[in-house]
Amino acid sequence: MIIAVDGPTASGKGTIARALAAHFGLPHLDTGLLYRAVGHAVARAGGNPDDPADALAATGFSDDLLADPALRSEATGALASRVSVHPDVRAALLERQRAFATQPGGAVLDGRDIATVIAPDADAKLFVTASVAARALRRYLEMRGRGDAASREDIAADLAARDARDSQRSIAPLRQADGAALLDTSALPIAAAIAAAIALVERQVGQNTPNRHG
């Protein structure tokens, strides 16, 4: 079973995807982490994330980089949004993601183009979203909990800028895929959001199973 979870930054899609993977006993891949690794590698090499050649050169990063805590920083997230607009970068990471999605038994993947590009035939598709205000508050509390200086206004502006870049890029823009169930987490506690996601997946899988086998 393949479960595709898409949505903007700080919508809760990563937490929901991890919970779905645990619930259904499937491996999970945060595909955004791949783009964060590229962005981090570009910066570490002194390159320009807006330069397609510099960004493409950084796609050969070692898998060890995916465990680097620096990839979770706000700065790296902004770099990821910038490198992800380059078609060659997306092409370089495409097969890596598809191989994970199509492994025996299936998988859960979250990102911005899972149901539209990486796994359009996924058994279940979710588009997880939330208002900019709700997402900014979550990110603010998360950063404050880590002891990082943060301004809710600055965070909201950064999220809005990322949303614009991700939804307006020419290749694989962020959008709700055909057949994907919409889950707005703006007013939902995490436990309720996870329960809703599980119910939506079970409903989709139940609807799709007769078509696949009958």
Q: Which domains does the chain have, with CATH numbers?
A: 2-205 (3.40.50.300)
Contacts of residue 113, defined as CB under 8 A and 6 or more positions apart, other chains included, come to 6, 90, 172, 173, 174
- Cβ 53 vs Cβ 5: under 8 Å: no
Looking at residue 127, its pLDDT comes to 98
Question: pTM for this one?
Answer: 0.87
Say what the pLDDT of residue 6 is.
Answer: 98
For position 208, what pLDDT does the model report? 74
What are 106's two structure tokens? 């299936």
pLDDT of residue 148: 85
Q: Are 49 and 161 in contact (CB under 8 A)?
A: no
**What pLDDT was estimated at residue 189?**
95
**Helix, strand, coil share (%) of the chain residues, nearest 5:** 60, 10, 30
Mean pLDDT by 10 residues, the chain (214 residues): 96 97 97 95 96 96 91 91 93 92 96 96 98 96 87 94 91 94 97 98 85 44
Strand ranges (DSSP E) for 44-193? 107-111, 124-129, 181-184
Alpha carbon of residue 203 to chain centroid:
22
